[in-house]
């Protein structure tokens, strides 16, 4: 059976793996105890059980990033970026690390459309 695991969504430049990371970040908002390595391991074990070559899968994901076909920045709960992408033939060989570049809870929203105009002339 042939799977096309590298389909890129035209809206967000995401493959299924990147949507998986996106889902992790969204769920992180509600459950700070979630850990990407354990969830990633489940994802990779599922692929491996379907006879997906994980080394080839990882190489293709990395190549797509290098070619600018996908985006490794995420804007859930601030801005996150993949800073380390290590892969191999076993789920245990994989390591994906994210860095939070900004925190949306500390950023100023700026002027709100339809909001009150500040008048400093008292």
The answer to whether residues 120 and 98 touch, using CB atoms and an 8 Å cutoff, is no
Tens digits of residue pLDDT in 63-102? 999 998 888 888 866 788 899 999 999 999 999 988 888 7
Q: What is the pTM of this model?
A: 0.72
pLDDT over 80 at 106, yes or no: no
The pLDDT assigned to 21 comes to 87
């Amino acid at each position: 059976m042939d799977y096309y695991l590298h389909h890129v969504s035209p809206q967000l430049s995401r493959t299924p793996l990147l949507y998986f990371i996106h889902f992790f970040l969204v769920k992180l908002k509600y459950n700070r105890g979630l850990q990407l390595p354990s969830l990633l391991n489940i994802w990779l074990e599922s692929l491996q059980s379907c006879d997906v070559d994980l080394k080839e899968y990882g190489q293709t994901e990395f190549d797509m990033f290098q070619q600018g076909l996908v985006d490794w920045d995420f804007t859930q709960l601030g801005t996150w970026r993949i800073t380390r992408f290590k892969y191999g033939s076993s789920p245990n060989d994989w390591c994906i690390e994210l860095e939070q570049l900004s925190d949306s809870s500390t950023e100023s929203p700026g002027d709100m459309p339809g909001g009150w105009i500040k008048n400093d002339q008292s």
